Amino acid sequence: MAPSETRLAETRLAETRLAAIRTLLADAHRKLGLRLGFVLWDGSRVPSEWPADGLMIQLADEGVIASLVRRPKPDTLIKLHVAGRIEAVNGTIFDIVAARPEGKVTRAIRGVSKLAALNVIRHFWRADRGPPSVLDRIAGDEIDRDGKPATNKANVAYHYDVSNDFYKLFLDPEMVYTCAYFTEDHGDIARAQRDKLDMICRKLRLKPGDRFLDIGCGWGALVCHAAQHFGVEAHGVTLAEEQLKLAEDKIRRLGLEGRVTLHLRDYTQMEGQFDKIASIGMFEQVGIKNHPAYFQTVNRLLRPRGLYLHHTIARRAKKTDRAFARMSAEYRALVRYIFPGGELDHLGMSITSLERAGFEVHDVEGWRENYQRTTYLWWQRLNERRAEAEALVGADKTRMWLLYLAGCSLAFQRGGAFINQTLVSKRNKGPSGLPFTRADLYS
């Protein structure tokens, strides 16, 4: 075939593919009652009359459709979005979700023309899918959860050693990377994180002279707060080297040397006895099969009648353990691309494990709405400083983190994820030493 004939055939094929996807999207828009439009790689909009300033999903190239045709899974959508090949126009992911059709989407999709769908599959099946995603470099579904110190360190480094400067873009001044606590309806993340640190210390009944351990101490916010405001001897253990450097700088700046000590080691390697222990947002990375060893370690480190605050994200329990063990596409993406080694239990599993390990449960408090707002504020702050984030870690990783924060916020909003604070004591005969009521915590 002559070059001119080849070019003509390619042009006709491109036009045929555009016509096929326009037909399918127009039919889907009409039958699903979508409140958003689409903009294709040639600049055309579907529906054609959709306003240029309206909410749209932009498809960057025909390889987007080819990828979805060959692998129609959420993982494909994630990779395409992270690569910048699927984007929201004139809105955000929250606007896209809000514009979803009412009711069961899978049921509504059945009404979309099967002939139009088959036509798209036929014309895009052999189309070039485009460049690989940076996420393709990440190993498949084999997730390291053996609980060994070296594995734990590698998993933690993947997430937390991105860059301290990156996390500074969206966290509060104290660099608290766990659920904030909103004592009333407000959007001040710094205030909410201070209130969270204070609530943790009050739940643990910290007092001068207590020996306090924070498992997974992050950038040192809790240990510094506890030493400054409650007079404890505070210890923090972490595996994140970048976090440790910043936390040690903070301790020196605040003049807390001798009152706050940080340990760069696995929690299983800690020694000594502590009056109070907290684990705030670290337990999710332990792995379910390692839970017995984790709780045994906490029990070993805690003095009799000592208090332990267990703060962790949880999933909803299912009818059977087998059903619970199945990972949704969104959950699998989270542990593959964001938190390698991470695994969530359910509240009942945590409580059972705590009791089996020799603890008495005193309080359980759900903070789901608090984390919904926290992750939304993080997303909002990072989105506002997107250009700075891209300069630090690249556009792909920035899109990945924005998607992760938005996805978490939506999961907590819908009740797909939960977070609980469970206060326990090391079981011992006789009084627990706690007051009869918890009224003072909320006065």
Active centre residues (catalytic): 408
- Close Cβ partners of 105 (under 8 Å, ≥ 6 residues apart): 32
- Close Cβ partners of 9 (under 8 Å, ≥ 6 residues apart): 1
Instruction: Name the residue among 306, 275, 323, 301 with its Cα closest to residue 432.
Output: 306
Bridge partners (DSSP) of residue 366 are 420
Buried b (16+ CB within 10 A) or exposed e, 291-315: beebbebbbebbbebbbbbbbbbbb
